[in-house]
Amino acid sequence: MAAAELGAHPMFAGRGMWLPLAVLALGGCAALGLSLAVGSASVAPEMLWAVLRGEGDALSRTLVLELRLPRSLSAFAVGGLLAVAGALMQVLLRNPLADPYVLGLSGGASVGALAAMLAGLGGAVITGSAFAGAFASTLLVFGLAHGTGSWTPSRLLLTGVVVAAGWGAVITLMLALSPAERLPGMLYWLMGDLSYSRTPWPPLALLLVICLLLMPLGRSLNVMARGPLQAAALGVKVRPLEWGIYLAASALTAMAVTTAGSIGFVGLVVPHMLRLVLGNDQRLILPACALAGGTLLVLADTLARTMIAPEQLPVGVITALLGVPTFLYLLYRSR
Amino acid sequence: MSRLEIRDLVIDVPGRVDGRALSLSLEPGQMWGVLGPNGAGKTTLLHTLAGLRAPRRGGVLLDSRPLAVLGRRQVARALGLVFQERHDGFPATVRETALIGRHPWLSPWQMEGGEDLRLAEEALERLDVDHLAERLVSTLSGGERQRLAIATLLTQAPQIWLADEPTNHLDLHHQTAVMALLAGQAAEGKVVMMCLHDLNLAARWCDHLLLLYPDGEACWGPRDAMLVPGALERLYGQRLATAEVDGAPVFVPVR
């Protein structure tokens, strides 16, 4: 019932779109502020404000600007990337259960990253190797699903799921073969961990660029959700649009996975929660996903590094622990 | 006003011999009915005429230009369809659904404006589903969805209407109302072509008929020349009794 009532306010005029986006943007800023203030040593709000204005003492400046800010911005970018990628995959496959990893991309990235760790390499090599794995997996699924030239969303989905299962087996094999002292690092990477991220700018820039590119496509995506024939009959060039969505979602996911490992749940649940509350206009849902996904991951990462400080938890565990009950509650309320 | 010209067209039904190529012209003001048994290719024909499927041979001209060289958006402004099957994977309201008919008329950066909203509301009212505007499509009955699909096409406002069994799921009153609406579109100078299972609706409302036989044979022409009981019995493989009611022939299957 709630969904029906809320669906009764479609965003025709465009004016109605700005309020939810403004609220989400404010929430994102608040979450970022919180993540800068709390941690192993807290920073008082007035000190935080001073630091952000370019003042404050040296210790606080180092703590906030050099340690916490890059990590928080990375968390925001990765959350946004995953949520937008999930929303795109759901439209592409016309399946509300799709998430960014459904087509096996995170499996490829994980195998790449674990192989680098197994070889005893660190830092940038892990990132590069993960990206290569994600890229290889995308090409593999793309090529296999394309096959003789005719593909359908169900064929793409099936190819992706089977390729993901294959990667899963390879990951288990690598974990079984790896020496005990390397296991914790590998497991943290698999569950998603932001301490690997170095600079937040590449993921933030990609998120911004893809969101801008998607803006004029929003209405076409709405029509695509009605099925490819209906979309073609309404003037959408279906096949180029589908490949475009696939490539965009893959690029977003690959960037997210190489920045922070495979953080589950954000890509599935954030688009869903927003659809339950805001309706299904992609012109609103996609930017809202970027903001809400980012906010969720900033909060989750803040919890991950404060709950048992100075030890850290994998942020993927937190997103699931936060997301599952919230999602179930919304679902329960809406039907 | 637009016209659709079908030139030596053989539709691509897998596993069927070519049969007779279709060569006919759908002129403004005409209301065509496509009749044929299940699997005769009625839906395939409509999709081919809309450029959604490639023909095996021949082609379709929209206002003397081949469909294949026109952009999808250009085609969508001139020609629209009511599909037999509809997907709704994601929840959407009735009003939002009618509004997507404006898609071919809006630039990528444009939001739907007051005029688009007015067209959608009018279409919902014409199809008697305006009281459902806020409802989710997934909660509608089959007949209500059918009327919504026609309202969406009315919002799209093409010159050429292709409708795949537009009276599916409709009660008797709404069948008549929808046929009257389609006839009204034809009277305004639009081209209407629809697949029908109900011979009697075709006999009453269409002025031209195209009979598609399952072996790929076909014949077409003005209604009165086509409504020959022998030809119709062969079309459906069914014996028919004929009567005249209210000035139109009525066909009833008999054992």
Task: Confirm if A296 and A274 have CB atoms less than 8 A apart.
Answer: no
ipTM entry: 0.93
Nearest by CB: A229 against B52, B112, B116 = B52
Q: In Å, how far is A167's CA from the nearest CA of chain B?
A: 29
Which amino acid would we find at residue A122?
G
Place of tokens 């996911």: A253
Chain A interface disruption, residue of B79, B81, B96, most A CBs within 10 A: B96
The rounded percent of chain A whose pLDDT value lies above 90 is: 36
Is the Cβ of B38 closer than 8 Å to some Cβ of chain A? no
Torsion angle of alpha carbons A89, A93, A95, A96, nearest 10°?
Answer: 10
Is the Cβ of B156 closer than 8 Å to some Cβ of chain A? yes
* Residue B14 pLDDT > 80: yes
Task: Confirm if B223 and B248 have CB atoms less than 8 A apart.
Answer: no
User: Would you tell me how many other CB atoms lie within 10 Å of the CB of residue A128?
Assistant: 15
Burial A68-87, CB ≥16 within 10 A → b, else e: bbbbbbbbbbbbbbbbbbbb
Residue A326 pLDDT:
79
Q: In Å, how far is A142's CA from the nearest CA of chain B?
A: 23
* Residue A135 pLDDT > 90: no
- C-alpha A82/C-alpha A255 separation (Å) is 9
Interface touch B139/A222, C-beta < 8 Å: no
Q: In Å, how far is B52's CA from the nearest CA of chain A?
A: 7
Residue B163 pairs in a beta bridge with B82, B194
Task: Confirm if B147 and B127 have CB atoms less than 8 A apart.
Answer: yes
Q: What is the pLDDT of residues A58-85, one digit of tens each?
A: 888 888 888 889 999 999 999 999 999 9
A259: confidence class by pLDDT, cuts 50, 70, 90: confident
Task: Confirm if A130 and A115 have CB atoms less than 8 A apart.
Answer: no
Burial B16-43, CB ≥16 within 10 A → b, else e: beebebbebebebbbbbbbbbeeebbbb
CATH ID of A2-334, from 1.10.10.970, 3.40.50.150, 1.10.3470.10, 1.10.357.10: 1.10.3470.10
Residues of chain A found within 8 Å of residue B103, distances taken between Cβ atoms? 219-220, 223, 234-236
Residues of chain B found within 8 Å of residue A222, distances taken between Cβ atoms? 100
Torsion angle of alpha carbons A141, A297, A225, A153, nearest 10°?
Answer: 20
Helix A124-146 and helix A153-177: axis angle, to 10°? 140
Residue B162 pairs in a beta bridge with B81, B193
Which amino acid would we find at residue A300?
A
Q: What is the pTM of this model?
A: 0.89
Interface touch B89/A216, C-beta < 8 Å: no
Chain B residue with the nearest C-alpha to that of A222: B100
* Residue A10 pLDDT > 80: no
Residue A8 pLDDT:
39
Burial A160-181, CB ≥16 within 10 A → b, else e: beebbebbeebbeebeeeeeee
- C-alpha B93/C-alpha A222 separation (Å) is 12
Q: Which segment of A101-115, A143-157, B202-216 scores lowest on mean pLDDT?
A: A143-157
Q: What is the pLDDT of residues A71-124, one digit of tens each?
A: 999 999 999 999 999 999 999 888 877 888 888 888 898 899 899 888 888 777
Q: For A220, phi and psi rounded to 5 degrees?
A: -60, -35
Q: For B58, phi and psi rounded to 5 degrees?
A: 80, -170
Q: Which residues from A are below 8 Å from B when comparing CB atoms?
A: 3-4, 7-8, 10-14, 90-91, 94-96, 215-217, 219-220, 222-223, 225-227, 229-230, 232-237, 275, 279-281, 283
Interface touch A13/B99, C-beta < 8 Å: no
Chain A residue with the nearest C-alpha to that of B91: A280
Identify which has the larger pLDDT, A33 or A16.
Answer: A33
Please name each of the domains of chain B with its CATH number: 4-253 (3.40.50.300)
> Most distant CA pair in chain A: distance in Å?
64
Interface touch A220/B100, C-beta < 8 Å: no
Residue A335 pLDDT:
57
- C-alpha A194/C-alpha A322 separation (Å) is 17
- C-alpha B142/C-alpha A202 separation (Å) is 49
Q: What residue segments make up the domains of chain A, in order of their start? A: 2-334
Q: What is the pLDDT of residues B116-125, one digit of tens each?
A: 999 999 999 9
- C-alpha A126/C-alpha A199 separation (Å) is 15
Residue A139 pLDDT:
86
Residue A45 pLDDT:
83
Please return the burial class of B173, using the count of CB atoms within 10 Å of its CB with bins 0-12, 13-18 and 19+: exposed
Q: What is the pLDDT of residues A198-233, one digit of tens each?
A: 789 999 999 999 999 999 999 999 999 888 899 999
- C-alpha B127/C-alpha B125 separation (Å) is 5
Task: Confirm if B127 and B152 have CB atoms less than 8 A apart.
Answer: no
Q: What is the pLDDT of residues B191-207, one digit of tens each?
A: 999 999 999 999 999 99
User: Would you tell me how many other CB atoms lie within 10 Å of the CB of residue A297?
Assistant: 36
Q: H or E stretch including A297? A: helix A282-306
Q: What is the pLDDT of residues A178-195, one digit of tens each?
A: 888 888 888 888 888 887
- C-alpha A260/C-alpha A315 separation (Å) is 9
Nearest by CB: B76 against A12, A13, A233 = A233
* Residue A162 pLDDT > 50: yes
Q: Which residues, 6 or more positions from A86, have their beta carbon under 8 angstroms from its beta carbon?
A: A98, A99, A100, A266, A267, A268, A270, A271, A289
